Amino acid sequence: MASDEDKAEIERILRERRQCVDCGIETMHGKPHEDYMVKDKVWKKAGMKPGGGRLCIGCLESRLGRPLVGRDFKDLPVNIPGLMADTERLYELKMQATVHYAMKRMRR
């Protein structure tokens, strides 16, 4: 059995993993939050490694030096708008991504 101290430490580590590495805001819990996946090349361009932590939309954009657009996001369920408690800015981006991939499928 884990002691209360161990549990507190585990909770602290998990909380840290959910936070934006730049500004510390919670990206996965709380309402609303910013859970999403961008393409690997976008993540790399922001100086992030796969599994190397999380960024909020604002900090990702400032690292990239430009606003995000729909095609920066992966075509994955995590990026479906409205499935999670997205912030307004993330909801808009997920809508753009959905339109981008729907158009792409239509052109095939």
- What residues line the site for Zn ion (CB under 5 A)? 20, 22-23, 56, 59
For the CB of residue 60, give the shortest distance to Zn ion in the complex, in Å. Answer: 8
Q: By C-beta, is 19 or 79 nearer to Zn ion?
A: 19
Q: How far is CA 64 from CA 27, 44, 48, 68, 84, in A?
A: 18, 10, 11, 8, 24
Phi, psi angles (nearest 5°) of residue 78? -60, -25
Nearer to Zn ion, 56 or 97 (CB): 56
Q: In angstroms, give the least distance from the CB of 57 to Zn ion.
A: 8
Main-chain dihedrals φ then ψ at residue 20, nearest 5 degrees: -60, 130
Q: Which residues contact 31 (CB under 8 A, 6 or more apart)?
A: 85
Closer residue to Zn ion, CB minimum distance, 20 or 42: 20
Query: Least distance (Å) from Zn ion to the CB of residue 56?
Result: 3
